[in-house]
Structure 1
């Protein structure tokens, strides 16, 4: 328990005498020693004051009750029954001059038997009921927390069971197919073996005939050779005829396999094992009929207002050989930073914590924009080429080229798909194998360079028209943001609440736009040192912002 200082006697203290108080006057709000208490009671003006022990005062010491008028700083010594409010003498002519004399009574008269009043009883009842409701809500939230853990385990088990069932089913299909292969293979072999046996038997007969011809030529008489030649020739013709008939019936068998169409297209068509969905349902606990005066209980939704968002600088570091603001920069979940320096050195580089340079990736063209694919992989565009790449931060030589349209600028990754801004043409969607899936927006402005996406929305900036756009996945406009606070918007990123980070290249600032496009907040300006920014990226897992701060400098901020 914290040690509390002794309460000093007020009148003695006025005389510069230090003396502990024994009683406390609730009217004067100061302590009195034994002698001063007697003097206090002896005076007519303070004879009726309420005196309590210091120990009793300790019980209410931390309870703050304002005894003075908030407007005039005078003592609250009157009460207006008409307005149900405590007032001071100055309040009467200024705000209660129309109130009758019967409405204005002394505060002492109004506070008589306050401990037995219905107002106090109602307050206690309201507090008790509200406390019960809060406890019910706490229990409900604890139950919901346990249930969501159970659901997570159940879903994990379902995924594992589905994977096991699929494996067993594929194993059984494989077993049947291999048995069929074995049977057909054996039949083909038996046919060929039968043919080989026939050929060997004929070969044996022909060898025998050749041997007879040789012996007959050496040792037999002319008559025997004459007759034997005709007999062997007849036999040979019969064998040749039989051989021709057999060879005519010979056929070559080739074994091939045709994988079922569904299995063959499984890896192409099925891009994810499943989808985790969160369904919002109304909480089971409601507040009961508690009358709460001068108070509101508001349950906040998941969408955070931009006015509450602030940035805390974590670090800044230099970019090697960069003489212009980078065109793109992303920070992965392992806090690896990747930068594309299209307007400067033309490098694609990797940095670790505190700005440690890891590598410059080997590139054949100047990289423009970046999109994180997973923990170790990212997509990078090259406007001057007809391809983009999926690179790996762990291995410079591990990358995949994907054919795309010339002048492909901004790129975003969402749900196994790449979204590309094709200059002055459209926004194209393709899978990670480079297959074009659809075109969402056509005839976009020449000022559209950068893009970002969520599961159900597309966001892009129009550099020329100073606007930020939000549309659906089918290209339907949801909102357009246009404000004097931002000029020449470039890179764009979105947080977990679909609030939008965007940098203004000419306005030298970082802006956060509300998810409905109606409100915004300037987070950083040129007073913070920003100069001609082109790149911003928000990591949703770490809740950190990677900003192309100025030429040759990257800044990392924690979002609070």
Structure 2
């Protein structure tokens, strides 16, 4: 381990004297004991060297930065601005003859203030974004793995139900089919497990590179940072290139079963029980090239036209003691539903998906909006108080108050940041400790109501019955206004970035296409909608939760 490393004094070692070093010179690349360090500092030639403590050196010892030319094995002491490359003296004669004297400068001059350079910042951002990408891909493959298990269970049920109407004659056919299913299922899972293992290995390597970058930023010299930035970026590029080659042609496999159409009446003619089919579709996996000047990462599935979106009623149930429309709702990973009842009881309540009341979650003020922070925690806004709450839904006693200088309304969580609506001001961006990171200014005359976010976009509604879509830095992408529908309220977004929004006055649930160019009314008052507000789209289960009228909730499958 680095913390156990014993570094010997270089000058003393030259005299065959063993003494532990107390400092390390990055220029001389050797350690110095106390006496030798004084001598080293006293000499004019080494007085300006970068000297750090041995403890700091231990932090960067394992960070590999090549200080010599790969071609000539000479010290890299020059830098060519024209070709953006560190070079040695021999390189000038062999490969940089046409470069002017102004193009070639000393490496010390080129590496000044490298710790504050945009290259280092870009490297950190690149690693973080690629790491997010890999985690996204891992989650996508884990979801696909779970889906293939569910499909396997569905097929088993279909097989069992069909088997009830058949005679012992079908036993052998059933056995063969189940063996086929097992083989196909194993093949499907093995593909997903293989790519998951590769992605998790890349994740570990990227975590290590990020840790190295942070240590290099804190403890390494400017020269080491300058060279290390480029060398680490090269490593990242090679790793990602390798993984991209593996996942380029990766497919999703969906298993189905086709039962023979005459199996119930023509047993003597049927030679097989059914057929297991594996349907391959292109997996939406994509990794960004790891280049410092190309750090924007986008992963998109195929976008769905809203004309094809439809809803299938799954469940309706009433909320006890509720006389007002819910301001927010959220479907948990455990299939329960949490409601915020700001205008009614002022409670945060949890129900199962059959409408059975589970509990009331204690809150210190009336809750307006909720957003998931992780699998177990939610963030809650209280417009009547100058703070937010982060609550553990598994252990509601575990909670944290985040003090704010404003009254928060709508809230969304994305990439470890909270996006909070501030009445008539805009959207405050803060970390989970309440530190203000940015303010996204909206039209000061408008009251922003509700907000939702994706990895790349922010969506919100205002008091002009308009839906806005902007980038994470606030640049407007599109604006949608439905002329015949007014008082747009709660907002949610699906996997294709299509936007679901409720209209309280017009009694509608609308879906707006991802590009803001088309829309569709999904539900109206003929579906019993009466002043609906709360709406939430569960991306994992493709379910809409809708507070369709005061005291009543509906769950819909999105088709």
Q: TM-score, normalised by structure 2?
A: 0.50
Q: TM-score, normalised by structure 1?
A: 0.50
Larger Rg: 1
